Each structure stands twice: as structure tokens, then as C-alpha cells.
Amino acid sequence: MNLIDRIEAGELKKERSPVRVGDTVRAHIRIVEGEKERVQVFEGVVIRLHGGGARESITIRKVSFGVGVERILPLNSPRLEKLDIIRHAKVRQAKLYFLRELRGKAARLKELRPKLDPNKKKKTKKKAVKKKA
């Protein structure tokens, strides 16, 4: 391991959520305004993953008041408080730049549901048995 890798290993965050392209995430970012600090929430779709290791970043896109807004966030930044994954979407591309041209319902992504375990028994409704009098 060379010197740069050892320095970067110290900068990595311990716990990280496994973010993928197409996920809808809620990023809690610490903002400093003068002497005050506050946490601002930015919610949108991950359209790009870039880099690796300590330099890994994501690009999040949302539409705010009819205007598309994108924000690039370094995943190992101390300013990034928390990254909540809200939902996963089925995507077939590594970069979702095509969402920039789409508007409204066309810009939706199909939600990816967790796979069901085939070993788990399905719940069945019990049939009501009529009593003969």
C-alpha cells in the first residue's frame, strides 16, 4: 500500500449506506452560514456515481419549483451528516443523464421491490367452514 492509499484510508467513513444509481435518497447536509450551522435536507434521484475510495461522489437530481437542480456530494465528506435511501429503482444504465430532458410522469423510474424468498411459506386465508344445524 503506497502513501496516498494509507492517507485516504484514514479519511473513509466507517459506516456507509450502499447507494446505487437510480436510488431516491435524502441527504442531510451541514450548512455553515456565518457563525450558525444548520442541517439542510436534499432529496432526489442518484443519477451518477463517480470515483472510488475517499474520492467517491454522487450526483443527486431533483426538480424544485419546475427547475431541475443537481448537487454533487462527496460521500466521505464530513459535511454529509446522513444519507437515507428512500427507494430503489430499476435502471439499466450507469448514468441517468436522460432524466434531464424528461418532464413530469415521463421522468419517473419503476420502483424495484425486494425479491421474495421462495423458501418462505405464502400466507393463505383460511376458508370459513359452515356449520350444519
pLDDT digits (tens, 9 = 90+) for 68-109: 999 999 988 889 888 999 998 988 989 999 888 888 888 888
Q: Which pLDDT score is estimated for 25?
A: 93
Domain boundaries along the sequence of the chain: 3-107
Neighbours of 47 (CB within 10 A): 20
The residue-averaged pLDDT of 104-119 equals 79
Phi-psi domain of 104 (left: phi exceeds 0; alpha: psi -120 through 50; beta: other): left
Residue identified by cell 424528461 is 102
DSSP 8-state symbol, 18: -
The stretches of the chain forming alpha helices (DSSP H) are 3-11
Whether 64 and 72 have beta carbons less than 8 Å apart is answered as: no
HSE at residue 29, side-chain half, CA atoms within 13 A, is: 17
At a CB cut-off of 8 Å and minimum separation 6, what does 13 contact?
75, 76
Query: What H or E segment, with its residue span, contains residue 88?
Result: none
Is the predicted pLDDT of residue 121 greater than 80, yes or no?
Answer: no
Is the predicted pLDDT of residue 115 greater than 80, yes or no?
Answer: no
Q: Let me know if domain 3-107 sits in CATH 3.40.1260.10.
A: no
Confidence of residue 1 (pLDDT cuts 50, 70, 90): low
Is the predicted pLDDT of residue 11 greater than 80, yes or no?
Answer: no
pLDDT digits (tens, 9 = 90+) for 24-71: 999 999 999 999 999 999 999 999 999 877 788 999 999 999 899 999
Whether 26 and 17 have beta carbons less than 8 Å apart is answered as: no
